[in-house]
A = this chain, B = another copy of it.
Amino acid sequence: MQERNRTEISTLGEFGLIKHLTDHLKLTNDSTKYGVGDDCAVLEYPEGKQILVTNDLLLEGIHFDLTYVPMKHLGYKSAMVNFSDVYAMNGMPKQLVVSIALSKRFCVEDMEDFYDGLRMACEAHGVDIVGGDTTPSLTGLAISITCIGEADKRQVVYRNGAKETDLICVSGDLGAAYMGLQLLEREKTVFNQQMKESAEAAQPDFSGKEYLLERQLKPEARRDIVEALAKASIKPTAMMDISDGLSSELLHICTQSGVGCRIYEEHIPLDYQTAVMAEELNMNVTTCALNGGEDYELLFTVPIADYEKVCHIEGVKMIGHITKADLGCVLVCRDGNEFELKAQGWNPLK
């Protein structure tokens, strides 16, 4: 372990900490009129723009495990998952408000690391941090992020516009973030076991599995896809980001659009490392891709007339098509068998 300074938050106090973390934030967007430091942030958007608002509440022990997630990555990912929601509306994220509740376990350096990651994500996506509050917590860390974005009035894409015969597309590949999580959980168990038995443990070897870790610890929201769609003059009929798993998201689109769908196992995009890891863990890789979650890829539908155009967008795969509602939501397997897609949300009793 690296030696680190530890400055107690009490040495700065609440207002001192906020000032310390937010003092040098740069504001770069025209729509940002006033950032951190008053009762509200103040924004102003030009006529013709619609404003997109999303919020995520992330809790230690539920959404992240600090035994293997560094604070800097946590800051980065917390921002990314919110940007992803804005891209899913075919918009561009512009401002971010963060509120953090932290227990005495955390020090000023932890918060600096968190903000470093947050800032890095914001700079990469042209987003201004316009609100940054901190508050105490009895146990662990809680993070609330609100992201505000914009889209041309006529370009906003909802979940409810998918039509029969539309093509179903996904960006990137699926299941890798979930495999990364399994890998980290496994190594954590091994590490804890070794520490128990001999009070020392070997550092885990992740070579050949870097992509899985990166997908779990440092996801990238797909701004490039939204830009590519605009460039190709494609307005999807429906879109959302894949955070709970392809299966669950596809069912949302179908329910809200009043349609069915048919997707093909052989077309679901997978990375080589995902397949290897699933094999190693004796899991079905398609199940991981369907239900794994945290991919932060975009799932969207386009009219069949856009087939040619969408073919030329790098990193987008067509996995099936929209059908009449009464045909249901169907996965066609490699062997020709068909299965009904099932949703999975969190369930506190599970």
Contact = CB atoms under 8 A, between A and B. Distances in A.
Interface of A: 8-10, 13-15, 33-34, 37-47, 49-57, 59, 61-63, 85-86, 88-89, 91, 95, 97, 99-104, 130-131, 133, 135-140, 142, 144, 146, 148-149, 153, 156, 158-160, 240-241, 256, 343, 345-350
Given A136-B346, A346-B14, A41 B52 contact: yes
29 contacts: A10-B347, A10-B350, A13-B346, A14-B347, A33-B50, A38-B158, A39-B159, A39-B241, A40-B89, A41-B54, A42-B50, A43-B50, A44-B49, A44-B50, A45-B51, A46-B47, A51-B51, A53-B148, A54-B131, A55-B133, A55-B146, A57-B99, A61-B138, A62-B137, A63-B135, A101-B142, A104-B349, A135-B346, A136-B348
Contacts of A39: 54, 85-86, 88-89, 159, 240-241
B146 A97 contact: yes
Contact of A57 (B14, B49, B142, B156): B142
Identical copies in the complex = 2
A40 to B, nearest CB: 4
Contacts of A95: 53
B101 A149 contact: no
Contacts of A153: 44
Nearest to A100: B57
A147 to B, nearest CB: 8
Given A42-B52, A57-B142, 8 more contacts: A9-B348, A34-B158, A38-B159, A38-B240, A39-B85, A41-B54, A59-B101, A59-B137
